[in-house]
Amino acid sequence: MVLDAREQVLDAAGRLFAERGVQAVGMDAIRDAAGISLKRIYALFPSKEALVTATLREREQVVLAQLEAIAARTEPPRERILALFDLLADWFAQPGYRGCEFVNAFGELGPSSESIATTVRDHKRAWVELLERLVGEAGGSPPLAAQLSLLVNGAMVSAAIGATDEPAAEARAAAAVLLDAALPAAGPRSRGRGATSAP
């Protein structure tokens, strides 16, 4: 499959930003990785800020597709919620995992870029909205979704700092405790990852 110029730039920039961070990557490095001239890159993205925002939006589409695939399963809502933490484990186990790309971008440029800050907030809100939907299907209330979201974000940071995928399992266990305490009792419940299909 041949990528068009815009896709080539987004692919190269997204990969470099994820590996090195936004500020450490210059436009020359993106030019070299994409094989696209700077003139063409700036015609597509008038500023580095615009390029960073576009790469985050592109990444968001991939992440939300993965989340929605889990939400659409036929398992009970509680099991689908826990499966989200299995997805985290898959991400954390990837070589070179450096944490949530959205949090990292916000940490570098969010305070000075409204575009990037808005993009990151939109993405994190999408996580909460999906959790609210699943929690609601399970008979829970919105505050539970906010608590689960904190576990998700905390696991991402801990996995990056510790260079380990263990926070996914630890957050999953904590989520199970929250769910058991907050949701109506509903038959047998799984105790580990083996009961859910990894995405």
Cβ atoms of 135 and 76 closer than 8 Å: no
Structure tokens at 95: 């070589």
The reply to whether 40 and 118 lie within a common domain is no
Number of domains in the chain: 2
Cβ atoms of 135 and 154 closer than 8 Å: no
The reply to whether 8 and 85 lie within a common domain is no
Other C-beta atoms within 10 Å of 177: how many?
Answer: 9
pLDDT of 139 above 80: yes
Whether residue 168 is contained in a domain is answered as yes
For residue 180, CA distances in Å to 8, 67, 166 come to 46, 22, 22
pLDDT of 63 above 80: yes
The reply to whether 14 and 110 lie within a common domain is no
Angle at alpha carbon of residue 35, lines to 34 and 38, rounded to 5°? 90
CB-based contacts of 31, cutoff 8 Å, min separation 6: 37, 38, 41
Q: Give me the domain span that covers residue 126.
A: 56-195
Mean predicted lDDT score pLDDT of the chain = 91
CA distance 131 to 125: 10
CB-based contacts of 191, cutoff 8 Å, min separation 6: 176
Residue 158: CATH number of its domain:
1.10.357.10
pLDDT at 74: 86
Mean pLDDT of 145-165: 97
pLDDT tens digits for range 19-58: 999 999 999 999 999 999 999 999 999 999 999 999 999 9
pLDDT tens digits for range 172-199: 999 999 999 998 765 444 444 443 333 3
The reply to whether 101 and 120 lie within a common domain is yes
pLDDT tens digits for range 81-100: 999 999 999 999 999 899 99
